[in-house]
Chain A
Amino acid sequence: MKKTGVVYDGYPSKEELEQSPGFPNTCSLSKGTKAVIECVQNIPCNPCEAACPYGAITIGDNITNLPILDVEKCIGCGNCVAPCPGLAIFTVNMNYSDTEAAIEFPFEYFPLPNKGDIVDAVNRAGEIMCKGTIIGIRSAKVFANTNVIKIAVPKEFADIVRSIKRLPRK
């Protein structure tokens, strides 16, 4: 049988995500916008901890610990998305509208999409899953050239869509 998981496929499996302490469960996600941290290996890294102004992310003294998300403290502001060098943090708002969820993700390719554009939304493997509407683009100076894009997709894709297809260069 083909083995699955981040070291074989390049992206974490459902099980790996569910077992990691930075990945909020469905119940927490129903309570409002939350960070979704998809960082499942013990790598020496900790900028996410300091990036959260609400103290919702903890790594501790041992920097190879996995980031732990305190869903009660997390208000879903998205300030942790751009500072993560692994581009591994997203936010998910399950209740953007009756039918749509909103997903924020880091994006470091040119050209950038424009607000209102309808684009191809992709899953963790880069496969096109559905169309999505760009509803926000944040490019603050402190983000140091990482743009944070917000996209609205049908609710059933909230746990699936993680980026958009790169746009063609002119």
Chain B
Amino acid sequence: MKNFETEVAIIGAGSAGLCAGIQAANAGAKVMIFDENHLPGGQLFKQIHKFFGSREHRAGIRGYEIGKQLLDEVEKSGADVHLNSVVYGIFDGNTLGVVEGDNHYSVKAKKIIIASGGKENYLPFKGSTLPGVMGAGAAQTMVNVNRVLPGKEVIMVGSGNVGLIVSYQLMQAGANVKAIVEAAPSIGGYGVHASKICRAGVPIKVRHTVLEAYGENEVEGAVVAELDENWNVVPGSEQNIACDTICLAVGLNPMSELAYIAGCEMTYIPLLGGHVPMHDENLETTVPGIYVAGDVTGVEEASTAMEEGNLAGISVARALGLINDEEGKEIADNFRNRMLNLRSGAFGEGRRIAKATQVEAFNEFQAKEGAK
């Protein structure tokens, strides 16, 4: 087995990993980025809609265009992107095990940034294993990356931004969305996304759930029912809706297994999607030299993932002594302020508080360790 050495190794070439790579490489670090897919960009290339955020976060630009811009910058920065490369473990806190195509090698790095993103939650119900029941993210990949329609008549479960956006994109691809079903008493995603679905005549049924998917060998329909205040089914409210596809958009959770294996202390924060690594304000975890950025450390948005990537990239460059500390601190503060700005308003406030708890958990843990 071959062994390589680098200054910075980054796991994941999504918004967070690419931005981290650009910052670190531009500061002069030798950077290697690994991604298991055959194309870089993570979630970005699936996103054909115009993004939110501020102009600095390339708002108003379609996701895949943002991906292209980042790839250009990565190329200029000199960071080395390895595709078809799965990182299967982190050993001794500084060495990655990598399988790239048919090759197997290890990479020893002075600093590691984990930017592995998130994965979709599942929802079990009667018939939920029938072909035709799938994650909304899977449906989105089929339509926007592989250009295959998963079905013609769709029921979407979940009204968060993912459910709303994927519903819209399925319609753009030519499918009909029969209904969006939401168990909570109100719609989870942005009103503007919900409004464009409504204008297309799709009913958004709040306080409703899917009880069952039925069909002989594949989905032929769903039983949808109303829920009362205590989330119990209202008797007699069951209705059959014919459909050939049921998409689940019931949240994402951080793909934090690698951080856990590496020995990073974790904390459980439901609002961020579940178990997330504790980290300090520079995104360094409890394992010195291992940093985290993006959805892996709390499911948020591409705009925040990019800023976290920027911050992690600058932080490792500072730790490696590649930028003078005064200047480095100023740049880092700027990224932190941009994140605070993104984490405000009705949809961001909760995440700002949750992220602060994550840093607090880190500080408490370190204080306890120090006292030992």
Q: Do A and B come from one complex?
A: yes
Chain A residues with Cβ below 8 Å from B186 are: 7-8
Chain A binding surface, main DSSP class: loop
Interface residues of B in 24-75 (CB under 8 A from A): 49-55, 59-62, 65
Name the contact of A44 in the complex, choosing from B52, B174, B192, B195 (C-beta under 8 A): B52
Total chain B interface residues with beta-carbon distance under 8 A: 41
Please pick, from A10, A46, A166, the residue contacting B191 in the complex, using a CB distance under 8 A.
Answer: A10
Residues of A within 8 A of B172 (CB): 108-110
- Identify which of residues 139-153 in chain A touch chain B, using a CB-to-CB cut-off of 8 Å: 144-146
CB distance from A107 to the nearest CB of B (A): 10
Q: Mark A149-167, 1 if CB is under 8 A from B, else 0.
A: 0000000000000110110
Question: Which residue on A lies nearest to B342, using beta carbons?
Answer: A44
> Does A43 make an interface contact (CB < 8 A)?
yes
B98 interface hit (Cβ, 8 Å): no
By the criterion CB–CB under 8 Å, are B187 and A8 in contact?
yes
Is A112 on the interface with B (CB-CB < 8 A)?
A: no
* B-side contacts of A130, CB under 8 Å: none
* Chain A residues positioned under 8 Å from B191 (CB to CB): 6-7, 10-12, 39-41, 43
Does A118 lie at the interface of the complex (its beta carbon under 8 Å from any beta carbon of B)?
no
A64 touches B195 (CB 8 A): no
B-facing residues in A67-123 (Cβ within 8 Å):
83-88, 108-110, 122
CA distance A46 to B346 in the complex (A): 15
Q: How many residues of A contact B (CB 8 A)?
A: 45
Verify if A47 is at the interface (C-beta below 8 Å from B).
Answer: yes
- Cβ-defined contact, B342 with A166, below 8 A: no
A88 touches B192 (CB 8 A): yes
Tell me, yes or no, whether B131 is within 8 Å of chain A by CB: no
Name A44-73 residues within 8 Å CB distance of B.
44-47, 50-51, 61-64
Q: How far is the CA of A7 from the CA of B206 in the complex (A)?
A: 9
- For the complex, what is the distance from the CA of A47 to the CA of B199, rounded to whole Å? 22
Among B134-185, those with CB < 8 Å from A are 171-172, 174, 185
Interface contact A87-B342, CB-CB below 8 Å:
no
A127 touches B195 (CB 8 A): no
**Sample (29) of A-B pairs whose CB atoms are under 8 Å apart:** A6-B194, A7-B191, A8-B186, A8-B187, A11-B194, A11-B199, A12-B191, A38-B195, A41-B192, A43-B345, A44-B52, A44-B53, A44-B303, A44-B341, A44-B345, A44-B348, A46-B59, A63-B342, A64-B344, A83-B50, A84-B60, A85-B50, A85-B192, A86-B192, A86-B193, A87-B192, A125-B201, A126-B198, A144-B61
* Residue positions of A touching B, CB distance < 8 A: 6-12, 38-47, 50-51, 61-64, 83-88, 108-110, 122, 124-127, 144-146, 162-163, 165-166, 169
Top-8 shortest CB links A-B: A86-B192, A64-B345, A126-B201, A47-B60, A85-B50, A42-B345, A10-B194, A6-B191
